[in-house]
Amino acid sequence: MCEYIYENGHKCDKKALKDSNYCSLHIPFEEGELLYGEKIKEIKEKAFQKKLEREITYFEGVYLYNALYNARISNLKNNKSIIFKDSHIKTLIIDNSEFAGVTLYNCTIENFIIFETTLKTLLIQHSIIFGANILKVRFYTSIYIRDSQIKYIMMNSFEHVKEKDKENSSEGEYEERYHIYGRVELFNLQGVRKIGINSRYPLLKKFLEEKGIKISEVTKKHAKARILVISSVKFDENPRFKRQVRILIKYFSGQLLMENLSIPGHVQMIRIKLPEFVHIVIYNNLVFKRVHFYSDITWNLTVLPNLTAELTVYGYILIEDCCFNNPYIEEIFYRLARINWEKSGDNEKADIYYYHEMVARRKQKIERYLMHLPVKFRLPQFRIKNHLKLNKMRRKIKCEEKHEKLFTS
C-alpha cells in the first residue's frame, strides 16, 4: 500500500508501485523517473484521468507532469471544487470547464493556466508558481491570489458575473457578503516580476499550441470586476528587471485600488477608470493613457487631498489622452506630472503640464463662479445637496490654499 499520509491522518489506500512505497500519483518525480524512466509520465497521466472520471477532485500530495494531457482538466462540468493541496505540478491546465471553484494550497507549480472557464471562486494561497495565467475566466464570487511566490501574473478578459439565484436571496445576507462579491485580490505576494492585466500573450499561445491546445487571442480585451486590489506585493529586486514594466493594466472596468507597493520599474495604465493609490512608490515611470479619471464627491473629499502624499514617482509621469470629470483631480495629476518633469530638468515638458494645470484651475474658477449665480440662473444639475457639498469642498480648498501659502512663503 502507498505510504502517503493525508493531513487528516488517513493513509492513501492505493496500491504502491512495484519497488516503491508510493502509488502512481504520490511517487515523487525523481523516484518515478529512476524506476520507470519516461514511462512514469504515462502512468501518472492514467491515474490522474481515472480519478477525474470518477469525479474525484481533491488531490493532496500528488506529483504531476506537464505531458500531453497530464495535469489537464478539460471540459469538466460539475458542482464540485478542484482542490490541489501540498502538490507538485509541472504544468496545470484547466480549460473549458464549469465548476464551483479551484483551490491551489501550498503547491509548487511551474505553470498554472486556466482559460475559458466559469467558476465561483479561484483561490491560490501559500504556493510557489512561476507563471499564473488566467484567461477568459468568468467568476461569480472572487479571485484571490495571496501569500504566495509568483513570478508572472497574467489575467486577461476575466469577468465578474452575477449568479441568477443570488438576485432572489435575502438582501441582508447579500449585503453582508457584498464585499467579497466581484473582488479580485492580489495580496502579499513575493518575488513578482510582472503583473499584466490584458497584456498580450504570444509566448503562452505558442506554449499551448505545442501541447496541441488552440486558443484564440481575443482581439477586444476587457476585464470587469467590482474591485481589483493589488496590495503588499513585493517585486523581484534583481536589477535585470528594473527598467521593465512591472504593472500593466489595460481595459479594466471597476474600482482599482493599489496599496503598499514599492515598484522597481514602470507602471502603465491604459483605458481604466480612476485608480486609487495608497502608499505607492514607483521608482521608474508612471504612464496614463486614455484613462478616464472619473470620481465622485466622496473620493474628492477623502482620496484627493492625500493623493500627493500617497503617490511618489521617481521617474516621469505621462498623461496622454486622458479625461477628467473633475477639475480638482485634473489639476493634481497635471501638477504631479509637472513637478516630476521639472525635477528631471525637462522644462519644455514641464511647461506643457503647467499649461494643463492652469486650464484645470480656470475650470475650477468657472465652477465656483457658477455656484455664486442667483438661483434662477443656476444650472439645473446643481441641487441644494450638491451645493452644500461644494461649500464644504470650497472651505477645504481655501484651507488647503492657506496651507500651501504657508509652505511656499
What would the x/- binding string for Zn ion be over residues 21 to 40, using CB under 5 A?
--x--x--------------
Q: Which parts of 294-353 interact with Zn ion (CB under 5 A)?
A: none
CA distance 100 to 340: 48
CB of 261 to Zn ion, least distance (A): 42
Quick one: which of 4, 63, 181, 333 contacts Zn ion (CB under 5 A)? 4
Locate 352 and state its grid cell: 506643457
Nearer to Zn ion, 4 or 115 (CB): 4
User: With respect to Zn ion, which residue has the nearer C-beta, 50 or 402?
Assistant: 50
Bridge-partner residues for 77, per DSSP? 98
Point out which residues pair with 144 in neighbouring strands. Answer: 123, 185
CB of 70 to Zn ion, least distance (A): 17
The answer to whether 157 and 139 are in contact (CB under 8 A) is: no
Q: Smallest gap, in angstroms, from Cβ of residue 191 to Zn ion?
A: 31
Provide the residue type at 223 as one letter: A
Distance CA 107, CA 130 (A): 11
- Contacts with Zn ion by CB under 5 A: the residue count is 6
Of residues 26 and 266, the one with the C-beta less far from Zn ion: 26
DSSP string, 14-27: SPPPTTSSS-TTTS
On the CB side of 148, CA atoms within 13 Å amount to: 26
Instruction: Report in angstroms how near the CB of residue 59 gets to Zn ion at its nearest.
Output: 10
- CB of 64: closest distance to Zn ion in angstroms? 13
Nearer to Zn ion, 26 or 250 (CB): 26
Q: Is 14 in the site for Zn ion (CB under 5 A)?
A: yes
Nearest distance from residue 75's CB to Zn ion, in Å?
26
Q: Is residue 2 near Zn ion by the rule CB under 5 A?
A: yes
Binding segment toward Zn ion, per CB under 5 A, in 5-13, 73-81, 185-193, 199-207: 5-13
* Helix ranges restricted to H, 37-123: 39-53
Residue 278, strand partner residues: 259
Provide the strand spans (E) within 264-355. Answer: 266-272, 275-282, 286-289, 292-293, 311-313, 317-320, 323-324
- Residue 5 CB, nearest distance to Zn ion (Å)? 9
- In Å, what is the CA distance from 155 to each residue of 9, 93, 106, 197, 272? 37, 15, 21, 5, 15
Give min distance, CB of 91 to Zn ion, in A: 21
Q: Which is nearer to Zn ion, 2 or 263 (CB)?
A: 2
Calpha distance 70→384 (Å, rounded): 65
3-state secondary structure of 230: strand
What's the count of helices (H) and strands (E) in the chain, helices before strands?
9, 20
SS3 242: coil
Give 83 or 339: the residue with its C-beta nearer to Zn ion: 83
* Residue 404 DSSP class: H
Nearest approach, Cβ of 23 to Zn ion (angstroms)? Answer: 3
How many whole angstroms separate alpha carbon 266 and alpha carbon 244?
6
Q: How far is the CB of 14 from Zn ion (least distance, A)?
A: 5
63: contact with Zn ion by CB under 5 A: no
Q: How far is CA 116 from the centre of its chain?
A: 18
When the beta carbons of 12 and 155 are compared against Zn ion, the nearer one is 12
- Our CB check for Zn ion shows the closer of 2 and 223 to be 2
Q: Residues in the chain, how many?
A: 409
- Specify the residue, 14 or 151, whose C-beta has the smaller distance to Zn ion: 14
Measured from the CB atom, the residue of 32 and 131 that comes closer to Zn ion is 32
Which of 291, 351, 360, 285 is closest to 320 using CA atoms? 291
Contacts to Zn ion by CB under 5 A: 2, 4, 12, 14, 23, 26
